Amino acid sequence: MKTYKLAHNTIEDRDWNVLINFLKRRSYPNQAKVTRKFEEKFSYFLGSKKSVFVNSGSSANLLMAQTLLEGKFLKNKIVVLPSVSWSTTVSPFIQLGYKAILCDCDKKHLGISIEHLEKICKKYKPGLLVLVNVLGHGNDYKRIINLKRKYKFQIIEDNCESLGSSYKSKKLGTFGLASSNSFYFGHHISTIEGGMVSTNDKSFYNISRAIRAHGWARDMDKAFKKKLEKKYKIDEFKSLYTFYYSGFNFRSTDLNATLGLEQLKKINKISKTRHKNFYYYKKNLNDYWSQSSGLTLLSSFGYATFVKNRLEVSKYLKSKKIENRPIISGDMSQQPFWKKHFTNQKKLPNATFVDRYGLYLPIHANLTKLDIDYISKCFKSLAKPIFF
Ligand SMILES: Cc1ncc(COP(=O)(O)O)c(C=O)c1O
């Protein structure tokens, strides 16, 4: 029986050969020139000025959270986080002492609920909004930008599930001060493990480059480095071991960047196929949730459905070797780690629904129409729709 995995391996023989040749040349394997090139090409692809390659999407999120603080980009440490998101979308803000508030999700695309966001803004005047583009879908950017103007918060985007998705020819991951992407094995493209922070802000870029590696200035643009050396009166000898920011070590290597450069060549094709697969699924399974986010390109990560008898359906699909998952965190406020930190969380009705009934199906770029028909047929033979 054929297995229908959630993720497929995007690293092909050609990519491994490029990597083998890189190794044969005994090139310097640490973070160096190839990483720079990958960062440049990725920025060009995304439509962002600068990017910082790190060892995972989770590190990218933590790097953004720390850069916002070290660079004093926020008016306060109150952050609004999406209830339907990922553990490492929200954890950095708990770890770094932000005051975290969960926002309910929208019924059309599982991004932020604008109505709930506005209520939170009125009551708490947050300094930061974190957006997650869920399973390839986007958010209501126009209305969010209006709220940003009104309440003066910063925005960052976790785009780890939506690489390639675009809204009116603008790529998701370019709507805020910075964004994260993930290149985990089986994601849209992969560097085995890997992630990227992208931004148009020079200062954000330079500070995040420092925080990526210990907090030193070596990886910053020369002008930024010089300014710091002048400010703190650091001579040439001391400069190598002077730490200006409270840093981490999130570096990846040129080995991973070599793979990244090869993978990047395929992203447009992969996104288009994922888009096509999404609409083919939608034709088959619209009764299980009529989802939409008005995107011009939907580089889908998984096909989301809502099912009354979810556990039964999930088990049946598993018996047919069709992998399936809950819709990411479900309601974050119900996750054990969240409950340990926050004891009096108010109900989030839409996220509660997602938590109870959400299930997503494989949609990767190696699936054919026949595969999708087969998966849809197995799914429909048992799944009872429930209206969201
Ligand atoms: C929304 C979201 N953010 C962050 C991550 C973490 O990415 P990584 O696995 O590269 O650490 C994931 C993982 O899939 C995710 O779905």
Confidence of residue 186 (pLDDT cuts 50, 70, 90): confident
Range of the structural domain that residue 347 is part of: 269-380
Long-range contacts of 25-30 (CB under 8 A, 24+ apart): 27/254, 28/254, 29/253, 29/254, 29/255, 30/251, 30/253, 30/254
Tokens of 377: 């047929």
Residue range 321-346, pLDDT digits in tens = 999 999 999 999 999 999 999 988 88
Domain assignment present for residue 136? The answer is: yes
Q: Does the CB atom of residue 86 touch ligand 1 within 6 A?
A: yes
Domain assignment present for residue 92? The answer is: yes
> End of a domain among 264, 299, 324?
264
Q: Does the CB atom of residue 57 touch ligand 1 within 6 A?
A: yes
> End of a domain among 264, 288, 321?
264
Same domain for 120 and 243 = yes
Of 116, 123, 45, 56, the C-alpha closest to 86 is 56
How far CA 319 is from CA of 4, 88, 117, in Å, comes to 11, 31, 41
Domain assignment present for residue 239? The answer is: yes
- Residue of 161, 163, 197 to mutate, ligand 1, most atoms within 8 A of C-beta: 161
- Kindly calculate the radius of gyration of the chain based on its CA atoms and give it in whole angstroms: 21
> End of a domain among 241, 264, 287?
264
Same domain for 200 and 82 = yes
Q: Does the CB atom of residue 329 touch ligand 1 within 6 A?
A: no
The more confidently predicted of residues 194 and 293 is: 194
Greatest pairwise CA separation for the chain in angstroms: 72
Residue range 297-322, pLDDT digits in tens = 999 999 999 999 999 999 999 999 99
Q: Output b/e per residue, 164-181; b: 16+ Cβ within 10 A.
A: bbbbeeebbbbbbbbbbb
Q: Does the CB atom of residue 15 touch ligand 1 within 6 A?
A: no
Tokens of 284: 């088959």
Same domain for 104 and 21 = yes
Q: Does the CB atom of residue 199 touch ligand 1 within 6 A?
A: no
Same domain for 76 and 21 = yes
Domain assignment present for residue 7? The answer is: no
- Closest atom of ligand 1 relative to the 194 alpha carbon: 10
Domain assignment present for residue 6? The answer is: no
Residue range 46-84, pLDDT digits in tens = 999 999 999 999 999 999 999 999 999 999 999 999 999
Q: Does the CB atom of residue 98 touch ligand 1 within 6 A?
A: no
- Residue type at 322 in one-letter notation: I
> Separation of 87 CA from ligand 1 center, angstroms?
8
Of 138, 88, 129, 91, the C-alpha closest to 110 is 138
Torsion of CA 192, 197, 202, 206, to 10 degrees: -60
Other beta carbons within 10 angstroms of residue 252's beta carbon come to: 25
Residue range 217-254, pLDDT digits in tens = 999 999 999 999 999 999 999 999 999 999 999 999 99
Residue range 116-132, pLDDT digits in tens = 999 999 999 999 999 99
We report the CATH number of the domain holding residue 44 as 3.40.640.10
Domain assignment present for residue 137? The answer is: yes
Give 61's contacts (C-beta < 8 A, 6+ positions apart). Answer: 88, 89, 92, 158, 160, 180
Q: What percent of the chain has pLDDT over 90?
A: 98
Q: Is the pLDDT of residue 151 over 90?
A: yes
pTM of the model: 0.98
> Separation of 155 CA from ligand 1 center, angstroms?
18
Same domain for 172 and 244 = yes
Same domain for 337 and 207 = no
Same domain for 199 and 159 = yes
Q: What is the mean pLDDT of the chain?
A: 97
Domain assignment present for residue 331? The answer is: yes
Same domain for 88 and 175 = yes
> Separation of 182 CA from ligand 1 center, angstroms?
6
Confidence at residue 27, expressed as pLDDT on a 0 to 100 scale: 86
> Separation of 143 CA from ligand 1 center, angstroms?
26
Same domain for 193 and 126 = yes
Same domain for 295 and 255 = no
Q: Does the CB atom of residue 184 touch ligand 1 within 6 A?
A: yes
DSSP of 84-128, one letter per residue? SS-HHHHHHHHHTT-EEEEEPBPTTTSSB-HHHHHHHHHHH--SE
- Residue of 182, 184, 193 to mutate, ligand 1, most atoms within 8 A of C-beta: 182
Q: How many domains does the chain have?
A: 2
Same domain for 213 and 321 = no
DSSP of 152-189, one letter per residue? --EEEEE-TT-TT-EETTEETT-SSSEEEEE--TTSSS
Confidence of residue 271 (pLDDT cuts 50, 70, 90): very high
Same domain for 292 and 371 = yes
- Minimum CA distance residue for ligand 1 atom 8: 57
Q: Does the CB atom of residue 182 touch ligand 1 within 6 A?
A: yes
We report the CATH number of the domain holding residue 371 as 3.90.1150.10
